[in-house]
Amino acid sequence: MNANQTCIIIGASHAGAQLATSLRREGWAGRIVVIGEESVLPYHRPPLSKALLNGEKTADQLEIFKPSVYEKADIEFMLGTVVTAIDRSDKRVLLTNGESLHYDKLALCTGARVRCLSIPGADLGGVHYLRDLRDASSIQAEVREGARAVIVGGGYIGLETAASLSKLGMKVTVLEMMDRVLERVTAPPLSEYYTKLHSRHGVKILTNTQAQSLRGNGTVASVECNEGLSLPADLVIIGIGVIPNTGLAESSGLEVDNGIIVNEFACTSDPDIVAAGDCTFHPNNVLGYHLRLESVPNAMEQAKTAAASLCGKQKPYHSLPWFWSDQYNIKLQIAGFNKGYDRVEIMGNPDQDQFVAWYIQGDRLLAADCINSPKEFIQAKKLIASGASIAELNQV
């Protein structure tokens, strides 16, 4: 490898951290520079709504890799720095301070940003999103036992945050505009289970309920909803999804469609630029279609493929997607992607907080939601990746 070449990685994210370290392991001999908008080294984001928010972990326990790992690999960081544009013709990235940096190879690990709620009062004090350490710190500063928290959005982030705030003694209400929580990502039995779980811990879940405005004198005091419902609130957290950060790619002329388009080797439409993580739209031959994943395992594994590509090696990325969610003492592990299922089979007993929901299309297993069932989760990954049928499921 040419020791005079420079690889710039935009995004000090899960994907960015993994790509940088993997790049060195793959034999990259030149300079590696990671540019991140936050002022801290890459950290694990899933604990923000769980272990960090409820006080089980501190910020310094979230580092993806220790500083010594980057030092040993001679990886440079430019933190608190924003890239404003990519000049592909001159192979330079432009920064907010007017400077520019030359690259020979470029990696986009720009992740995603929160989807904002555009309603009156959304800019009041006490209204928060939860995406980074600063967000978590701001929320923690306003947590008080007995205070009222309203969470807008009944997805995983909303429910995880509800569990954390409930454990801290807050009175929590979750608003979900659809018929049930987790409606976009899971089957009715799982929605019913999580509704009951939160109810047991004192969290109130309101479905078919939409926040229409927030009211307060400088600081939020209530959430006004459809059908005249008004909820008092000392703290509001909005969790209605994320949007991939594709602006730099799009403005530089790269192909974009629900994410930065990459092939199985994490290569973009520019041979000198790769991309990895939440920002990419990529093929998966295990599933048989293209998709964009908001997933730590996806970010880390795709980053390894991207690093190999930058070093002239072809290591296709086609991993079975998997996810997890921790709420109270319940661990949900998800194997596969349930797109297109026509029925669900439950194995185990939801009333005992231990069961598996199998998603089936015809006679083929697509995915599994495993509640406090780690052994079954491991089996599920193997079965789904192998294209197993319902007959093989019955042998589990």
Per-residue model confidence as pLDDT tens digits over 241-257: 999 999 999 999 999 99
| Closest of 91, 78, 86 to residue 41, by C-alpha | 78
Q: Quick one: pLDDT at residue 394?
A: 67
Residue 3 has pLDDT above 90, yes or no: no
Per-residue model confidence as pLDDT tens digits over 294-333: 999 999 999 999 999 999 999 999 999 999 999 999 999 9
The whole-angstrom separation of Cα 203 and Cα 209 is 15
Residue 381 has pLDDT above 70, yes or no: yes
The whole-angstrom separation of Cα 58 and Cα 115 is 26
**Sign of the torsion formed by the C-alpha atoms of 348, 352, 354 and 360:** positive
Per-residue model confidence as pLDDT tens digits over 327-377: 999 999 999 999 999 999 999 999 999 999 999 999 899 999 999 999 999
List residues bridging with 344 in a β-sheet.
359
> pLDDT band for position 396 (50/70/90)?
low
Residue 390 has pLDDT above 80, yes or no: no
**Residues 6 or more apart from 68 whose CB is under 8 A from it?**
none
CA 277 → CA 60, 127, 331, 361, distances in Å? 23, 28, 24, 28
Contact 49, 128 (CB under 8 A): no
**Sign of the torsion formed by the C-alpha atoms of 346, 349, 350 and 353:** negative
> pLDDT band for position 2 (50/70/90)?
confident
DSSP state of 63: B
Per-residue model confidence as pLDDT tens digits over 258-287: 999 999 999 999 999 999 999 999 999 888
Number of C-beta neighbours around residue 297 at 10 A: 15
CA 372 → CA 153, 326, 355, distances in Å? 24, 10, 7
Contact 193, 325 (CB under 8 A): no
**Sign of the torsion formed by the C-alpha atoms of 33, 37, 39 and 40:** negative
First to last CA, the chain: 48
Retrieve residue 5's tokens: 């070449």
The whole-angstrom separation of Cα 44 and Cα 64 is 6
Per-residue model confidence as pLDDT tens digits over 118-132: 999 999 999 999 999
When the pLDDT of each residue in the chain is averaged and rounded to a whole number, the result is 95
Q: Quick one: pLDDT at residue 386?
A: 86
Residue 12 has pLDDT above 80, yes or no: yes
Residue 395 has pLDDT above 70, yes or no: no
Residue 232 has pLDDT above 90, yes or no: yes
- What mean pLDDT do residues 34-41 have? 97
**Residues 6 or more apart from 249 whose CB is under 8 A from it?**
86, 108, 110, 256, 260, 268, 275, 279
Residue 34 has pLDDT above 90, yes or no: yes
Domains and their CATH numbers in the chain: 6-113+242-310 (3.50.50.60), 127-238 (3.50.50.60), 329-393 (3.30.390.30)
Share of the chain above pLDDT 90, in %: 93
> In the chain, what is the greatest distance between 2 CA atoms, to the nearest angstrom?
66
Q: Quick one: pLDDT at residue 365?
A: 92
Retrieve residue 328's tokens: 């109270």
Residues 87-118 as b or e (16 or more Cβ within 10 Å = b): ebeebbbbbeeeeebebebbbbbbbbebeebe
Per-residue model confidence as pLDDT tens digits over 56-76: 999 999 999 999 999 999 999
> pLDDT band for position 388 (50/70/90)?
confident
